[in-house]
Amino acid sequence: MQLAPVETIRRILKETKTIAVVGLSPKPSRPSHRVALYLQQAGYRIIPVNPGQEEILGQRCYPDLLSIPDKVDLVDIFRRPEDVFPIVEQAIEIGARTVWMQQGVVNQEAATLAEEAGLTVIMDRCLKIDHNQFGVS
């Protein structure tokens, strides 16, 4: 897996409308919360995925990707690397176009599975930082 070109990241940020955030914390001090809030304020629809919560950021929370009744463009993963593979399997099953593993999350086996299924994979990068840096409007 090589680093995603800037053009790929810009395309993803422009085409994405709905983001499922797996591991979204209800705690404002957590990175997942700060990133999701930023993305929500930037105009993306955020769907929280956290089995222990009913609602986060004013949105209904789902226990897993398979429970989401709506189309998801991008799955943003805030989980330990060893927990990523089944999330990627679900992302493939729901027809997501992109899997984004946040900074510090690296799982090559899961990335390969996603790529072989036709998904774009971004790994070990922060969605908020990239959105800020590449200025998608």
DSSP 60-111: E-BSSGGG--S--SEEEE-S-GGGHHHHHHHHHHHT-SEEEEPTT---HHHH
pLDDT at 63: 98
For 6-51, the pLDDT digits (tens) are 889 999 999 999 999 999 999 999 999 999 999 999 999 999 999 9
> Could you say which architecture CATH assigns to the domain 6-134?
3-Layer(aba) Sandwich (3.40)
Q: Which residue has the higher pLDDT, 7 or 116?
A: 116
**What is the pTM (predicted TM-score) of this model?**
0.94
